[in-house]
Amino acid sequence: MRENRVGGNGHHTECRNPATDEVLGYSPLHSPEEVAGFIRKAEEVHSEWSALPLKRKIVAMKKIRRYMVDHLDDLALSIARDNGKTRMDALATEVFPAIAALGYYCRKAAFFLKDRSVGPSSLLFWNKRSRIRRLPFGVVGVISPWNYPFVIPFSEVVMALLAGNCVVLKAATETQMAGLALKECLDAGGLPEGVFSYVNMGGPDASRAFLEHGVQKLFFTGSVSAGKQVAELAARKLIPVCLELGGNDAMLVCEDADLHRAASGALWAGFQNAGQSCGGVERVYVHKDVYAPFLEILKEKTLRLRVGYDLDHGVDVGCMTTLRQVETVQGHLADALEKGASVFVRAASYSGKDSSRFVTPVVLTEVDHSMKVMREETFGPVLAVMKVQDMDEGVRLANDSTLGLTCSVWSRNGKRAETLARKIFVGVATINDHLMSHGLPETPWGGPGETGGGRTHGQQGFDEMTLPSVLVQDRFAFFARKNLWWYPHGPSVYQGIRGACHFFYGHDLMQRLKGSWGLIRILPRMLKP
């Protein structure tokens, strides 16, 4: 349980371990006025930070990386205690990917930010040199979730800073200790005051404060309903937003799949982080010919799972982070069972002192698309497995969703798997794997529909941190005194531009030759003042 309580110098968030209810610490709460002050300070220092050579920014980032490498165990422990996941999960899916992402963006930032030349669209503009440059927005706001409280905001903050922005980060109220650990990492970079600021306040209040007090772009990761509210607020001021709002992701198991690998992949992608992964597997569509053997293998592996709280690696699945999410999962399970689903297998239940946050991983069968587990984001350790007659049916059912973050196809035939994957309308499709591309900093992350809009990670994610600005230069301005279409106008100018249309785009040789004469006649006017 997290409560806002009065601390030594004002209001604080009391941070507790969701598995044990142990008090971990207190995080100061900020008011909208304080947020406004952070944004004003960021605006003041932005020009200086953006003008700093990229190499100098990278020096700061490498200090951050060194601090993280030197404090790996402390970071993993802090995240695990604050979120409820295992320490292995915290290290493998949060700390390591964050370090890898920082190194990747430091290596690639110069390439991502360099000017791009654009070739002329027509010989008529042969003398125009066009380049696209990337300009930082200024002050970027980041609002991050509690399920991956470290790695999700970390990558966005690093990309924004390297691109020349200042950043104000609002970490999830539920996982403030992980957020404060991230702040310590950023502080180790020795960034100038105001370049990075950390905020603790409620999500809706933070969204309003960020948008009302002048962030130039907002990155939000959270629920669909909250994301829609953020988008509505941002639209009133035409502030661009990048939204990542979740998934109800599908896994397709073909008749020629390696069933042991597929079952192990489903186990990982369905139950890792207690199922609290927007890119995890929730729906599994299995070809009828391998449905029964796949389930038997999945059953055997599920029964071996260890559920509980043990920071010394004695468990595989930890607890859920919030009681609200526990209620959502229980509601989806009740809905499925009421509509005819069956519990095929449950893992061994946690029998510790406080079991309210522990949801036993479960595999459901006899499911259909009338059930919430197949239509909405459950965000818990529930796998719903459905038999399909063929993989075309699997593709159709996978696409029967408003959420399209990720999917996976499992087959020994790589070409066939790719063909199936290309038919599924998602942001990320993986073959014979799942729930790992977020850890590849080179690949963009995001999806269509109610999954959100925009991308993070990769070059596309880096582009989200900047505005494209076109620079057009006339390479022969010293020679040509005016353009063909400049004043004064007259019949000859009209005929000349008309001739240009025929010369460049005419449908036969005769039309082009006639057009060339009108164009040639007005070319000398370019030399006259």
Catalytic positions are 244
Q: Which of 385, 429, 412, 420 is nearest to 258 (CA)?
A: 412
Task: Please give the single-letter amino acid code of residue 384.
Answer: A
Torsion angle, alpha carbons of 82, 84, 90, 92, to 10 = -170
3-class SS of residue 306: coil
CB atoms within 10 A of CB 415: 8
Q: Lay out the sheet containing 196-199: strands in order across.
A: 196-199, 166-170, 139-143, 217-221, 241-244, 452-453
Q: Lay out the sheet containing 11-16: strands in order across.
A: 3-6, 11-16, 23-28
* Cis before 488? omega within 30: yes
- Quick check: 383 and 282 in contact, CB under 8 A? yes
Q: How far apart are CA 116 and CA 180, in angstroms?
A: 38
DSSP 8-state code for residue 495: H
Q: What does the longest C-alpha to C-alpha distance in the chain come to?
A: 92
3-class SS of residue 269: helix
| 362-365 and 342-346 strand pairing | antiparallel
Angle separating helix axes 176-187 and 54-70, nearest 10 degrees: 130
End-to-end Cα, the chain, rounded Å = 77
Residue 461, φ and ψ in degrees, nearest 5? -65, -40
Torsion angle, alpha carbons of 16, 18, 20, 25, to 10 = -10
Kindly give, in sequence order, each residue whose CB lies less than 8 Å from that of residue 33, ignoring residues fewer than 6 positions away.
Answer: none
Angle separating helix axes 391-398 and 414-421, nearest 10 degrees: 30
Distances (CA, A) of 476 to 10, 123, 124, 484: 65, 14, 13, 14
